[in-house]
């Protein structure tokens, strides 16, 4: 019973509702989940990527988005990144006990992508990914950069993504999301040796090293 109570105490969850003149988004996030997802953005390919994010990070994600898709997919894509990032930051709380750093190399057939992450509260973003086509399905490939940047700044994360090589644009994008997922899974994990401490020599995260 004691172990069960400790597990419940460590469940890190958050709910975010974001409404603008362009989008209306609701997010429920559980960092300590099992990778369950229910995603509805109105953009098929984005749904597929967010499902990958949930499945491979083991975060439970429930997201619904209504956006001005009659204009284009930009606002909905960017705002889902912001909303998920805000939910992640809220669920982390003061970030006590987290491993903090995470990285992953993700191969998908001919593609290899590297993702490195520091969930320090200090937002920064590096994107070294190129595409050979302007669209995947009906989605502009340039919007993927917007999603990752929005997530990084809302989550308070330093995020570096580099596609080392690849040909298939679908594989390139999917490896980026899976790389983020695996990096988040590592970085957000509680370090049992320092579960009661902030992982910084300054004793705080956000604007510190």
CATH superfamily of 2-187: Imidazole glycerol phosphate dehydratase; domain 1 (3.30.230.40)
Q: Under 8 Å CB-to-CB from 5, ≥6 apart: which residues?
A: none
pLDDT of residue 137: 87
Q: Where are the domains of the chain?
A: 2-187
CB 135 within 8 A of CB 74: no
In this prediction, residues 31-49 reach a mean pLDDT of: 97
Question: Would you place residue 8 in the very low, low, confident or very high pLDDT band (cuts 50, 70, 90)?
Answer: very low
pLDDT-derived band at 11, boundaries 50, 70, 90:
confident
- Whether residue 178 is predicted with pLDDT greater than 60 in this model: the reply is yes
Q: Rounded to an integer, what distance in angstroms lies between the CA atom of residue 17 and that of residue 137?
A: 28
Which residues in 13-82 belong to E strands, given as ranges? 13-19, 23-30, 37-40, 60-67
Can you give the pLDDT at residue 1? Answer: 42
Per-residue pLDDT averaged across 51-59, rounded? 98
pTM of this structure: 0.91
pLDDT of residue 148: 98
pLDDT score of 202: 56
């Amino acid at each position: 019973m004691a172990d069960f109570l400790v597990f419940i105490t460590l469940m890190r969850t958050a709910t975010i509702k974001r409404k603008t003149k362009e989008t209306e988004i609701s997010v429920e996030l559980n960092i300590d989940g099992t990778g369950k997802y229910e995603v509805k953005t109105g953009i098929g390919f984005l749904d597929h990527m967010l499902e990958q994010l949930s499945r491979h990070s083991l975060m439970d994600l429930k997201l619904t988005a209504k956006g001005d898709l009659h204009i284009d997919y930009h606002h909905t894509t960017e705002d889902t990144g912001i909303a998920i990032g805000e939910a992640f930051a809220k669920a982390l709380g003061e970030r006590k006990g987290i491993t903090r750093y995470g990285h992953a190399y993700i191969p998908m057939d001919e593609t290899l992508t590297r993702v490195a992450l520091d969930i320090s509260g200090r937002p920064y973003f590096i994107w070294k990914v190129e595409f050979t086509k302007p669209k995947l399905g009906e989605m502009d490939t340039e919007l993927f950069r917007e999603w990752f940047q929005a997530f990084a700044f809302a989550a308070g994360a330093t995020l570096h993504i580099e596609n080392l090589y690849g040909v298939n644009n679908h594989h390139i994008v999917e490896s980026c999301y899976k790389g983020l997922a695996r990096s988040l899974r590592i970085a957000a994990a509680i370090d049992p040796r320092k579960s009661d401490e902030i992982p910084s020599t300054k004793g705080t995260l956000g604007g510190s090293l």
